[in-house]
């Protein structure tokens, strides 16, 4: 609505031949409307419309009259015309922007103005993908440059709903990064600098498990040399240490960063605790009971649906199924609060974990029900796909083994499992883990 009203004012200025800046301009417009429109409008109404008097949203009667002054049948007629015209204008602008060799301030301002457009996420994703494929690091630096009005989202506050837009953009950009050769993605290293949003708003939101041994691992290893902010250092080190664990390294780095003065995103807080579960169990060979109690205590003040995303996989690795069951008893309502697309990874993680609980308790029908709700194959380009599929195959194999034990199906699970282990390099997913989990 605001966009249409702005356009309406702009066309009025254009028809008058000057911009309405003074109340005398409003008086002249009022006179022109009075002699040209069948249903004239009050002078004070016009003053409110142009901001010379306090006002709320204009009434449709006012909008209809102003639209009639411009030659339209009604405001609805004006809106339809503007939308058709703007759609074509926007299409050509984005197309030209995509093929540009130089980005001018005027173009960037126009792009920034489009952030209210319902398709803006698609527009910016198309532009970034195009610049990546063209190898235009210079243009990517402009797009990802940190500025007061970010080009990636509407507000510089990731606690707002704009985080969903960043997730979508990260998903799209991560997908194209997967297609690059080593030579191509190495040239993007300068984007890891602190003056750009690339690492925080792409790499942090598209944690590409399938490419820990490819472009993603390369960027993470180079980030450690550039990231200065404490929370970024924590994120990068945890990714490096956890990837080392997944690759089968028997020696885990103990890591307990001081987070007392940091406001961490819930997923990062959960990642710290998940990794500490692994080191407590594998390195120190101690009970994890105290750590689980700490997780429950901290979890009660966190955004649950993302806080546990790396805690449950850690518990699966150490076969702490009773602890998973306990956490479900404490947080089940919040863990399964929505089936929205944004929870693709989290919901699938919890469904697989819950299935393992049911298998251990011999509730095979409930386990089968949970596994049938898993939606991994809907998006094989999702950054968590291969990683979560390995956990899924463990649960599916065990369920089949303990029920019908159909050999061909068990063999198919085994083949797919080994193919994913080879693809990802995650030797931690051993054959005994698949076949002898329980």
157-176 pLDDT per residue, tens: 554 566 778 888 999 999 99
Whether the pLDDT of residue 16 is over 50: the answer is yes
The pLDDT of residue 298 = 93
Reported as a pLDDT band with limits 50, 70 and 90, residue 350 is very high
Query: Rounded distance, CA 29 to CA 72, Å?
Result: 17
Average pLDDT, the chain: 88
Mean pLDDT, residues 239-267 = 91
Tell me what percent of the chain is helix, strand and coil, each rounded to the nearest 5: 65, 0, 35
Percent of the chain with pLDDT strictly greater than 90:
55
pLDDT of residue 261: 84
pLDDT at 324: 97
pLDDT of residue 157: 52
Residue 393 pLDDT more than 60?
A: yes
Domain boundaries, the chain: 2-159+180-187, 207-435
Distance between alpha carbon 89 and the CA centroid of its chain, in Å?
28
Full-model pTM: 0.77
pLDDT of residue 342 exceeding 60: no
Minimum mean pLDDT range among 128-137, 191-200, 301-310: 301-310
The three-point CA angle 53-56-62 to 5° equals 85
Instruction: Give the pLDDT score at 340.
Output: 43
Confidence of residue 341 (pLDDT cuts 50, 70, 90): very low
> Taking CA 160 as the corner, what is the angle to CA 157 and CA 161, rounded to the nearest 5 degrees?
135
Residue recorded with tokens 């599929």: 389
In this predicted structure, what is the pLDDT of residue 432?
Answer: 97
Beta partners for residue 196, in sequence order: 145
Predicted confidence at residue 339, as pLDDT, reads 46
Max Cα–Cα distance, the chain, nearest Å: 89
């Amino acid at each position: 609505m605001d966009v249409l009203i702005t356009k309406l004012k702009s066309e009025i200025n254009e028809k008058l031949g000057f911009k309405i800046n003074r109340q005398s301009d409003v008086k002249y417009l009022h006179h022109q409307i009075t002699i040209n429109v069948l249903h004239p409008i009050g002078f004070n109404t016009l003053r409110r419309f142009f901001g010379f008097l306090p006002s709320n949203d204009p009434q449709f009667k006012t909008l209809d009259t102003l639209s009639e002054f411009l030659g339209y049948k009604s405001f609805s007629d004006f809106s339809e015309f503007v939308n058709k015209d703007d759609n074509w204008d926007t299409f050509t602008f984005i197309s030209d922007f995509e093929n540009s060799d130089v980005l001018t301030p005027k173009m960037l301002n126009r792009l920034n103005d489009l952030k209210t457009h319902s398709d803006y996420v698609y527009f910016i994703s198309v532009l970034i993908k195009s610049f990546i494929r063209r190898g235009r690091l210079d243009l990517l630096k402009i797009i990802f440059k940190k500025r007061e009005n970010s080009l990636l989202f509407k507000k510089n506050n990731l606690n707002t709903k704009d985080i969903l837009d960043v997730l979508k953009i990260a998903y799209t950009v991560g997908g194209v990064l997967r297609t690059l050769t080593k030579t191509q993605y190495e040239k993007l290293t300068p984007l890891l600098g602190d003056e750009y949003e690339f690492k925080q708003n792409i790499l942090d939101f598209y944690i590409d498990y399938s490419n820990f041994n490819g472009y993603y691992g390369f960027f993470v290893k180079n980030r450690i040399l550039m990231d200065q902010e404490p929370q970024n250092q924590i994120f990068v080190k945890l990714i490096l240490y956890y990837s080392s664990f997944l690759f089968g390294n028997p020696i885990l780095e103990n890591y307990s960063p001081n987070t007392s003065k940091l406001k961490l995103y819930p997923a990062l807080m959960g990642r710290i605790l998940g990794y500490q579960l692994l080191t407590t169990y594998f390195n120190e060979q101690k009970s994890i009971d105290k750590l689980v109690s700490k997780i429950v205590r901290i979890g009660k003040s966190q955004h649950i649906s993302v806080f546990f995303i790396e805690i449950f996989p850690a518990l699966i690795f150490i076969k702490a199924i009773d602890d998973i069951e306990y956490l479900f008893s404490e947080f089940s309502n919040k863990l399964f609060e929505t089936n929205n697309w944004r929870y693709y990874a989290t919901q699938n993680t919890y469904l697989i974990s819950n299935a393992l609980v049911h298998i251990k308790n011999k509730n095979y029908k409930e386990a089968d029900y949970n596994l049938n709700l898993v939606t991994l194959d809907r998006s094989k380009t999702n950054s968590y796909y291969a990683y979560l599929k390995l956990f899924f195959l463990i649960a599916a194999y065990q369920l089949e083994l303990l029920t019908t034990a159909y050999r061909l199906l068990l063999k198919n699970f085994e083949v797919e499992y080994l193919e994913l282990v080879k693809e990802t390099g995650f030797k931690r997913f051993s054959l005994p883990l698949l076949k002898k989990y329980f």
